[in-house]
Structure 1
Amino acid sequence: MDKKSEFLGKESIRKLLFKLSAPIVVGMLVQAFYNVVDTFFVGMAYGTESVQAIGGLSIAFPIQMIVIAFGIVLGTGGSSIISRALGAREYEKAERVLGNIFSLSLILSVLVGIPCLYYLDTILKVFGATAGVLPYARDYLQIIIAGGTTFVFGVAAQHVVRSEGNARLAMNAMLVGGGLNIFLDPFFMFGFGMGVKGAAIATVLSQVVVSVWLLLYYLKGKGAVHFRSETLKPDLKIVKEIGAIGIGSFIMQCSNSIMMIFVYNALATHGGDTAIAVFGVIMRINSFIFMSLLGMAFGLQPIAGFNYGAKKYGRIAEAVKLSLAVTTTIGVLGLLFIFYFRAQLLQLFSSDPHYLELGKNAMVIMLLGMPLVGLNIITSTLFQALGKARPAFLLSISRQLLFLIPAVTVLPNLYGLNGVWAAFPVADFLAFTLSGFLLSRIYRFFKEYKDSLKAGTGSEVADKISSI
């Protein structure tokens, strides 16, 4: 079991980061692509009602992300513990964490799904659903929430697979899920005439396949961490540790959804159904950039966690520096591409003149801060990998809760609909500043004590990092 992850502490950082990140980025781009395909097919299926139908999917998306957030908290918290445990050769602890992740996936999905289904219309109205988009959002979410267990388990399992350095399997799982979803979308939406319900069924079925595949991977003992049935019983100490570390990612995901409440209500007030549809389309297009940044961060996570456990701090500093260079480049190139091809991208989903006019203006303003986002994602992921819950939590909530919600509350009162779009680059800049401050403090410790394993000063570094 230990040999399967030893390469995390030995291979060159440049080669290792590419090996771990590239498959994840590919898989996540496929995920972003099938989210776009869902919207594309919905636009085709509903014709003159496409703006309302796309708006329904837009309103549904942040609620769907809340369900997935429970998989993210288990995955990020559990994978951080597992990667550090593997680096420190604490294999029994890694197995206990894996079992707890499996059992908690089922428990949490049921506890979340039941109240969400019961109060669905109320929740949708809170998120700003207008009378025009609410029926479409309801039809889609009823099926998604009912299949919530597959989302929670699938997301958590992919994080765990990446934590042991098996990025290729995580990529293949996302490729299979995304490819199957793209194939099933027209089958259910057009073949059976099910519209948005067909899109939801296709998404759930694809996640079922991914979840079963990853479950069998561990049941057959193929992972670096072995599954034992006795580890399924929740261990309170492990649950607390998973929660403490993963709460940052959970809050980041949920705060994004909470932020959407303010955004969609502002859009409904200042722009109506068309503005809601525009925002949903821009978020899906932007997901290609964001997923690439997230993929780089997920590639960094096992490297940082393993080498922190092994007290090889110089390797962490090198990996962080390279990750930041790549994510900044991705942000700049992505912004330029979207800026020059924004009209063509918007036309993929609807030809409504008002939608196109609003979209061209909104896309330019909203995405100005994308080159800055990578620093926030990388820094937050780094603190999670090191098991430092407080700074990870602060960074996770900074962009959406601390900065974006106040901006989207104040700016529309001054600048109308343009104020909603402008809130995003303002929040990006403020989160960038905070992330840079926290990263500069920890990065210099890793540079100063890069040979701490030989010098015997590992505990000194850990104490200094804990003080941040």
Structure 2
Amino acid sequence: MAVTADDLGTQDIKKLLIKQAVPSSIGVLFMSVNILIDTIFVGQWIGSLAIAAVTVVLPFTFFISSLGMAIGIGGGSVLSRALGANDKEKAKNTFANQIMMTLLLSCFFVAIGLLFSDEMLALFGAKGAIVQPAEEFFFPIILSVPFLALCMMGNNIIRAEGKAKFAMVAMIVPAFVNIGLDILFIKYMNLGMFGAALATAISYFSCFLFVLWFFLFKSELKLQLKHFKFKIPIVKEISALSFVTFSRQGVISVLSIILNHTLYTYGGEHSVAIYGIISRMLMFALFPILGITQGFLPIAGFNYGAGNYDRVKESVKLSIKYAAILATLIFVVILIFAKPITAVFTDDALVIAQTPEALRWVFAASPIIAIQLIGAAYFQAAGKARKALLLTLSKQGFFLIPLVLILPNFLGIFGVWIAFPIADVLSTILTGYFLKKEMNTKLIQTNDGIL
């Protein structure tokens, strides 16, 4: 049975979390498998330099498309709380403003990317032999980014409505399209990097078509022309919370620039390719934790808006528990099967020799990351933008970037890999402190609401 927005405030939290998290996890899994298989095809059919090229290009395009994700998550918090407070008109106005904001901002940054493509590719680490395949991959991808941005925004609104299964399908559709077209364009038509980019671009458009179909025929948010007017208070509220996610993606993009240049300096093109494999595995292996986090957001946001603070607290505890168990299992698998996993991506002997150890170190603190992810997500769902921003940026911004800049000077390439678990531990401690304080002093149910 489908979950409605009202169910978020009434159903058993454990069952509700499963209903929301399982489809979200499956959706993230297919998105991750899509990226993973795309990388495998590129590595096996074009070469390890192609993996390095993709690693350089995607952070820039994802930076632009993350505008949609940021507006979707930030506006989704506003929308969830509006639905929880039974304010359907505010929910509709919020959604319409999200659509307009996503279109305007993504198209603006795409224009910047096209005008300064050489500079952007160089900034994100396209050096030496990486430049030529990066250029081939860049142009078809960037033209499709506004569709991806709208998909990312719309997917979060679908979840905010409680329709996690449709959000899951929205992620599955482009995965099948991309994998099928990869085989056609790269293997059979021999289009190389251009073919890989074209397949990805078409898959983004297919996702957009599905999301458009959902909002036209299945959504509870039936928009009218009157809703498509910028409302400054709503834009400010969306922007404040969206800034959290966009800042995180901005920091991730800065991290990508620093990582790509540092890796090239200490290990050349092969080290960039190694990180390309590791970054794909990070998204793929952690899909259930990301799914739980996405499933948690609308539950926490709705119940916070409705004043059901005991349910918010319960959802936090259960989400951390489930995510921590799954993260531990994932770490064990990575620890044991690091070498076979690496061999799937490439037959480059140097990459195969160096990747397993790096992969194990990057995943070393995985068992504790649930606290950091769920904790940061709670503050965003509750509309507490400052704390959400602080905690969301803590790993990459406050800890990982400085560590990547400092440690390689003393430890070489190993300094890059060891920086990841150190940053995980430090950011988890910080998040745990704020979350525990919130649970013990703020999220206490009274007749009048929060103390």
TM over 0.5: yes
Say which of 104, 109, 121 aligns to 2:106: 109
Who is 1:77 aligned against?
Answer: 74
Who is 1:346 aligned against?
Answer: 342
Who is 1:259 aligned against?
Answer: 255
Mapping 1:411-430, distance limit 5 Å: 411-430=407-426
Deviations 1:161-182 (A, max 9, x none): 0001000000011111211111
Deviations 1:389-436 (A, max 9, x none): 000111111111110010001100010010011111111111101100
Who is 2:30 aligned against?
Answer: 30
Structure 2: runs of 5+ lacking an equivalent: none
| Structure 1 residue 389 corresponds to structure 2 residue 357 | no
Question: Structure 2 CA distance, aligned partners of 1:422 and 1:61?
Answer: 24
Q: Match of 1:29, SS?
A: helix
One-letter amino acid of the counterpart of residue 74, structure 1? I
Who is 1:65 aligned against?
Answer: 62
| Structure 1 residue 219 corresponds to structure 2 residue 216 | yes
Who is 1:316 aligned against?
Answer: 312
One-letter amino acid of the counterpart of residue 10, structure 1? T
| Structure 1 residue 191 corresponds to structure 2 residue 175 | no
Mapping 1:35-184, distance limit 5 Å: 35-46=35-46, 50-184=47-181
Q: Match of 1:133, SS?
A: helix
Question: Structure 2 CA distance, aligned partners of 1:83 and 1:357?
Answer: 48
Question: Structure 2 CA distance, aligned partners of 1:136 and 1:311?
Answer: 53
Q: Structure 1 stretches (4+) deviating beyond 4 angstroms?
A: none
Do the aligned residues in 1 keep the contact of 2:36 with 2:284 (CA within 8 Å)?
Answer: no
TM norm structure 2:
0.97
Q: Match of 1:387, SS?
A: coil
Do the aligned residues in 2 keep the contact of 1:73 with 1:242 (CA within 8 Å)?
Answer: no
One-letter amino acid of the counterpart of residue 123, structure 1? M
One-letter amino acid of the counterpart of residue 26, structure 2? V
Do the aligned residues in 2 keep the contact of 1:408 with 1:420 (CA within 8 Å)?
Answer: yes
Question: Structure 1 CA distance, aligned partners of 2:9 and 2:233?
Answer: 28
Do the aligned residues in 1 keep the contact of 2:55 with 2:276 (CA within 8 Å)?
Answer: yes
In the comparison of the two structures, how many residue pairs are matched?
Answer: 449
Worse-superposed segment, 273-282 or 173-182: 173-182
Give the fraction of aligned pairs with identical amino acids, expressed as a percent: 33
TM-fit CA distance, 1:447: 5.6
Do the aligned residues in 2 keep the contact of 1:150 with 1:208 (CA within 8 Å)?
Answer: yes
TM-fit CA distance, 1:276: 0.6
TM-fit CA distance, 1:68: 1.9
Question: Structure 2 CA distance, aligned partners of 1:432 and 1:4?
Answer: 33
Question: Cα gap change, 1:229/1:273 in structure 2, threshold over 3 Å: closer, same or farther?
Answer: same
Worse-superposed segment, 193-202 or 160-169: 193-202
Question: Cα gap change, 1:292/1:138 in structure 2, threshold over 3 Å: closer, same or farther?
Answer: farther
Mapping 1:276-315, distance limit 5 Å: 276-315=272-311
One-letter amino acid of the counterpart of residue 14, structure 1? K
Question: Structure 1 CA distance, aligned partners of 2:191 and 2:287?
Answer: 29
Do the aligned residues in 2 keep the contact of 1:246 with 1:384 (CA within 8 Å)?
Answer: no
Question: Structure 2 CA distance, aligned partners of 1:266 and 1:447?
Answer: 43
TM norm structure 1:
0.93
| Structure 1 residue 201 corresponds to structure 2 residue 198 | yes
One-letter amino acid of the counterpart of residue 148, structure 2? F
Question: Structure 2 CA distance, aligned partners of 1:295 and 1:55?
Answer: 27
Question: Structure 2 CA distance, aligned partners of 1:370 and 1:147?
Answer: 33
Do the aligned residues in 1 keep the contact of 2:44 with 2:347 (CA within 8 Å)?
Answer: no
What's the C-alpha RMSD, in Å, of the aligned pairs? Answer: 1.4
One-letter amino acid of the counterpart of residue 10, structure 2? K
Deviations 1:335-393 (A, max 9, x none): 11011111111111112221111112211211112122221111111111111100011
Who is 1:268 aligned against?
Answer: 264
Question: Structure 2 CA distance, aligned partners of 1:231 and 1:299?
Answer: 27
One-letter amino acid of the counterpart of residue 30, structure 1? F
| Structure 1 residue 431 corresponds to structure 2 residue 427 | yes
